[in-house]
Amino acid sequence: MRLHEYQAKDIFADAGVPVPDSRLAATVEEVLDATDAIGFPAAIKAQVHVGGRGKAGGIKIATDESEARGYAEAILGMDLKGYEVGTVLVEAGVDFETELYVGITMDRDEGEPVVMVSTEGGVDIESVAERTPGRIAREHVDPAFGLHPYQARRVVYDAGIPRDVAGDVASIVSALYDLYESRDASEIEINPVMVTSDREVVAADGVMNVDEDALFRHPDLKSMEDETAGDELEAKANDYGFDYVRLDGNVGIIGNGAGLVMATLDLVDHYGGAPANFLDIGGGAKAERVANALDMVFADENVDSVVFNIFGGITRGDEVATGINEALGRFDEIPKRVVVRLAGTNAEDGMEILNTDLVDVEATLDDAVRRAVANAEGAR
């Protein structure tokens, strides 16, 4: 479960991480009330689960009431990469000199959490890792012992953080690791950590993803789940119990098993398409669950075609085929062209059940993806 920025910062603040003064607002008047309390300059930041909010117009810095009103009117209700902005975070502007990066995630190659610190804050850290990996200092942590204070200091010094703020940055690193461990986070980062002209450090952004399978241990985080849904589709995914991530492409993808879905996403990209989502219906999916999955993907206005990739193990091909027929039978006219690839358990039975008047059927995944990408291009 991915938290909104304002939720992550509330948790960071409770852990002792310095954050700017801020207010959450859902109307223009609430934005103006917030700026009255906070003062100017003030950042007005869309609270949606997408990257690149600033470049997309979802973050603006207001220097007076007139600008604040104009930015609030523009951002609230805007479509930001497929998400309608319902709330904004109004935050005190930070007079900064330097931007840093601090993050923690799981290094699956090493089988341990890794702490990352860099002086290259305020930019896409993946790009930094690709272009200049030496500018990111890394410290692996044995989960049996946790992060030792000397490790926090070492990774900060290895990153080249100025000595006069290194201690404060190390304190942020330690606080974030404590949260990562105690709150069952899968990823946690601040980008950027801003260093002010007074040599104070402030968390100007906040990302925190929590392992959904561990939410039963954290009822306070569980209560945030509806707020983090982001839009109607993700709320619907929560209701259906799907693993679903909305992307910004136009080829809808449904599969059983995370690895199979990821492979399908990669192939869509390989053949020149753009994935619209990640949707895993899981193993042993019954017809109703399959029908719900198609209903979800059809509801995404960005989707122009759908590829359905099922490899039967627990999931039976005949049940999947029945679900597809039932879902498509609800429509007087099929809203998107659907390509189906079935393999594995009862796949031959499923192929016979499928109504080929409603779907395109391909024997291989490559052929299915190629056709789905062509269908999407033809719909534009």
Q: For residue 111, which amino acid is it?
A: G
* Number of Cα atoms under 13 Å in the Cβ half of residue 136: 22
The fold of the 231-379 domain, in CATH, is Rossmann fold (3.40.50)
Active site includes 181?
A: no
Catalytic-role residue among 5, 189, 234, 319: 189
Domain range annotation of the chain: 21-92, 96-219, 231-379
Given the residues 6, 71, 101, 177, select the one marked as catalytic. 101
> Within 13 A of 273's CA, how many CA atoms are on the CB side?
34
Helix H or strand E segment including 325: helix 317-328
pTM to 2 decimal places: 0.72
104-118, 199-213, 315-329: least confident range: 315-329
Amino acid 230: pLDDT: 54
Concatenating the DSSP letter of every residue in 251-281 gives EEEEESSHHHHHHHHHHHHHTT--B-EEEE-
Give the pLDDT confidence of 6-22 residue by residue, as tens digits. Answer: 999 999 999 999 999 99
Q: What is the pLDDT of residue 228?
A: 53
Q: Summarize pLDDT for 215-256 with one digit per residue, the tens.
A: 999 999 988 875 555 567 877 887 888 888 888 899 999 998
Quote the pLDDT of residue 229: 53
Q: Which CATH class is domain 96-219?
A: alpha beta
Query: Residue 266 above 80 pLDDT?
Result: yes
In this predicted model, what pLDDT tens digit does every residue of 44-53 receive, in sequence order?
A: 999 988 878 8
R_g (Cα) of the chain, nearest Å: 23
From the options 3.30.1490.20, 2.60.40.10, 3.30.70.100, 1.20.120.80, give the CATH code of 21-92. Answer: 3.30.1490.20
**What does the pLDDT read at residue 225?**
73
Provide the β-strand partners of residue 88. 25, 46
Q: Give the separation between CA 256 and CA 254, rounded to whole angstroms.
A: 7
Q: Active site includes 5?
A: no
